[in-house]
Amino acid sequence: MKLHDTPSTENLPTYRTPPISGNQINGLGIKEKNRPKRVFHALWRTDFPWAGMNAFFIMNNPWELLWEALKYRWNMRRSTGPVARQRVEVNAPNEMAQQLKEKAKEFGTGIVGITEIMPEDLYDDVELNYRYAICIGVPMRREEMLHVPHARAGQEVQRCYGEVGGVAIELAEYIRSIGWPAYAYGDPRSTDILQIPLAIRAGLGQLGKHGSIICKEYGSNVRLSTVATNIPLALDKPIDIGVDDLCIGCRRCTMDCPPNAITDKKQWVRGEYRWYVDFDKCVPYFTATYGCAICIEVCPWSEPDRGTKLSQMLLVKRNKNGSSPDRVGSLTYRV
C-alpha cells in the first residue's frame, strides 16, 4: 500500500501539565504479570490519567464518524438481557463450540475462536463471572481503509465496529435464548476486557510489531468483538502463521509511523516479552488523525488475499533453514 497525504507531527494535541506516562501505566519494563490499568478508550469515564486526550479524540471526530459511533452505541444496549429459564444442557462442549461458531458465521463473522478468560485479560477494576470468550473478527473495507489516516478511514473503523459488535450481540442473544448467560463486548471503549490477547489465544492470529493482531485471512485489516459466557465450550489453541518470522526483518510499519512510535525490539510489558508501541508517542497522533491506523494498513499482511500464501512461504522457509524466530512473547498485544 502506498501512503499519500500524511499529516505532519507538528501541532499535535498536548497537555499543559502532562499526565503520568501511558507507558508506565501499561507496565512497560515490568517483568511480573499484572492486570492492566485503564489508560485510554474508556467511554463515559473521566477517572483515568489520559481521559482528557480521550475526550479530545471523541470531540475531534467529524459528524459522520460520530454518527457511526452513536449508532453502534445504541445497538450495544443489547449486550446483555434476560436468560431463558429452560436451559439446553451441554454434554459435548466440542459440539456446542462448533454449533456456536457456525451460528457466529451465520450472523456474519469472518473468523471465530474460543479461549478461557484469565485475570490478566481484565482491567484491574473489573470482576467478571464468565469463564469463556468467543472471539470474533470481521474485516474492514480495504478500499475505505486506504484513506488512512483521514476521517474516511476512521468512519470505516466505526462502521466495522458496528458490524462486528452486531455479530457479538446476536450470538450473545442466541446463547441466552438457550438458557446460558452471555455478554457481548464491542469496541475497546465499551469494554472490561482486552480483546487482542483473548483473540490471539483463541487462535485468530498473532501479534505484529505494530502492536495489533495479524490474521492469515485479513492481515491487520480486522476489528474484534467478544462474547463472554459460561456455556461449556471446547477451547481453541493459539496459532503460528509466521508473523514473527516476517516482523523481525520487516520495518514497514516502523518507517511509516509518523511519530516513530514503533520499535524494532520486543520489550517486557506486565510479565510478557513482546512487541510494544510507545503509547506517549502514538496517542497524540492517533487522536489528531481519527484513529490513524497507518501501521495496520501498510503491513504486508493486510494486502487482500496475501496472508495465506505469505504464511505458507514463511513457514516453509523456516523449516528449510531449520531455525525459528524469537517467538517469546508472540501471544501478546497492544494495550
Q: Would you tell me which residues interact with ligand SF4 (CB under 6 A)?
A: 208-210, 246-247, 250, 252-253, 257, 259, 261-262, 277, 282, 285-286, 292-295, 299-301
| Three cell numbers written together for 145 | 481503509
The least distance separating ligand SF4 from the CB of residue 20, rounded to whole angstroms, comes to 19
The least distance separating ligand SF4 from the CB of residue 300, rounded to whole angstroms, comes to 6
**Which one, 111 or 253, has the nearer CB to ligand SF4?**
253
The least distance separating ligand SF4 from the CB of residue 22, rounded to whole angstroms, comes to 12
Between CA 44 and CA 190 the distance in angstroms is 9
**Which one, 80 or 254, has the nearer CB to ligand SF4?**
254
Beta bridge partners of 185: 226
Is the bond preceding 149 in cis, omega lying within 30 degrees of 0?
Answer: yes
Between CA 18 and CA 280 the distance in angstroms is 10
Could you give the 3-state DSSP secondary structure of residue 33?
Answer: coil
The least distance separating ligand SF4 from the CB of residue 46, rounded to whole angstroms, comes to 23
Torsion on CA atoms 58, 64, 70, 71, rounded to nearest 10: -150
Between CA 204 and CA 189 the distance in angstroms is 21
The least distance separating ligand SF4 from the CB of residue 7, rounded to whole angstroms, comes to 10
The least distance separating ligand SF4 from the CB of residue 209, rounded to whole angstroms, comes to 4
Specify the residue for cell string 492517533: 286
What Å distances lie between residue 278 and 22, 52, 125, 244, 314, CA to CA? Answer: 8, 18, 24, 19, 28
Between CA 49 and CA 39 the distance in angstroms is 7
**Which one, 172 or 213, has the nearer CB to ligand SF4?**
213
**Which one, 31 or 309, has the nearer CB to ligand SF4?**
309
CA 198, chain centre distance (Å): 9
**Which one, 116 or 303, has the nearer CB to ligand SF4?**
303
The least distance separating ligand SF4 from the CB of residue 250, rounded to whole angstroms, comes to 3
Specify the residue for cell string 450481540: 169
**Which one, 170 or 244, has the nearer CB to ligand SF4?**
244
**Which one, 30 or 250, has the nearer CB to ligand SF4?**
250
**Which one, 133 or 247, has the nearer CB to ligand SF4?**
247
**Which one, 172 or 246, has the nearer CB to ligand SF4?**
246
The least distance separating ligand SF4 from the CB of residue 26, rounded to whole angstroms, comes to 14
The least distance separating ligand SF4 from the CB of residue 176, rounded to whole angstroms, comes to 36
Decide: 140 and 152 in contact? Cβ < 8 Å: no
Between CA 72 and CA 173 the distance in angstroms is 17
Between CA 53 and CA 286 the distance in angstroms is 10
φ/ψ of residue 48, rounded to 5: -140, 150
φ/ψ of residue 170, rounded to 5: -65, -40
